[in-house]
Amino acid sequence: MNTTKKLTIAIDGYSSCGKSTLAKALAKKLNYIFVDSGAMYRGIALFCLQNKIIKGTEIDTVHLINTLQTIDLKFIYNEQIQESELFLNGVNVALDIRKPDVAAVVSQVASIEAVRVKLVEMQQEMGLNGGIIMDGRDIGTVVFPFADLKLFVTADPKIRAERRYKEMLIKDPDTNIEEVEANLIARDKMDTTRAISPLVRAEDALILDNTHMDREMQLNFVLNLLKEKELI
Ligand code: DC
């Protein structure tokens, strides 16, 4: 049993596969830092909407690149809810980044190279001392190519849409399941086909299909895997 080494764990996969839920539970169990890298891309997308850098589906890329250095993103831990929340230029945007207007444009924003360069640099800095579990789309391939464990999470798209729908319904009773599913499919398509750092499984990533697994089963699966590999 390795008790000293603080591991780096990369969790990638499609939209609404429960990556963050798994990463969060694992981080709690191992007393590691959890970073939801998707929240950071959502933060930039929200900034674009707030500053009219996106109109409709048109992004003013030059404007965005010129203002990128003014965007300050920070995760601050909230003791009350025992979770980190994203702050955009000093303002808590944890709820705003989950709204459908952000979901509608985030994949487009995430396909811009300068955005990725900025966020990958921040993410790598967060992981300098290990003891981190980060989830996203390019964590095992680009952010932490030397991660101790890489997972590629997947699930049936219908199940994913249902899970996301139930989650969103709590916050917005007008949520429409067809819209949720359409957004999920559109984002997966854009994330897997973009030119820069597309979502692909790292060669050494283990596939975790959680279509028929609940949260506890997934957590136990990963903990057993870490034990088998003598990483914990
Ligand atoms: O994980 P999420 O659904 O909150 O991510 C929002 C979007 O951000 C997703 O559609 C793709 C993009 N993303 C990315 O390109 N790279 C990451 N590491 C994380 C997210």
Domain spans in the chain, listed from the N-terminal domain onward: 8-226
CB atoms within 10 A of CB 142: 18
Q: Is 183 left (phi over 0), alpha (psi -120 to 50) or beta?
A: alpha
CA atoms within 13 A on the CB side of 40: 25
Pocket lining: 187 vs ligand 1, CB cutoff 6 Å: yes
Measured from the CB, is residue 118 less than 6 Å from ligand 1? no
User: Please, which residues have CB within 8 angstroms of residue 128's CB and are 6 or more apart in sequence?
Assistant: none
213 near 221, Cβ under 8 Å? yes
Instruction: Give me the sign of the Cα torsion angle 90, 92, 97, 99.
Output: negative
> Which H or E run includes 13?
strand 8-13
> Residue 136: what pLDDT?
98
Report CA(230)–ligand 1 centroid distance (Å): 31
CATH architecture of 8-226: 3-Layer(aba) Sandwich (3.40)
Instruction: State the Cα–Cα distance between residues 156 and 164, nearest whole angstrom.
Output: 12
Q: pLDDT value at position 5?
A: 80
Reading phi first (left if > 0) and then psi (alpha if -120 to 50, else beta), residue 14 is in beta
In ligand 1, which atom is closest to the CA atom of 191?
Answer: 11
Nearest to 217 by CA among 25, 82, 3: 25
pLDDT in single tens digits along all 232 residues of the chain: 555 689 999 999 999 999 999 999 999 999 999 999 999 999 999 999 999 999 888 999 999 999 999 999 999 999 999 999 999 999 999 999 999 899 999 999 999 999 999 999 999 999 999 999 999 999 999 999 999 999 999 999 999 999 999 988 988 899 999 999 999 999 999 999 999 999 999 999 999 999 999 999 999 999 999 999 999 9
Q: 125, 138, 11, 23: which is closest to 83 by C-alpha? A: 23
Going by CA atoms, what residue is nearest to atom 4 of ligand 1? Answer: 38
Q: Ligand 1 in contact with 141 (CB < 6 A)?
A: no
Lookup: tokens for 127 = 């992981």
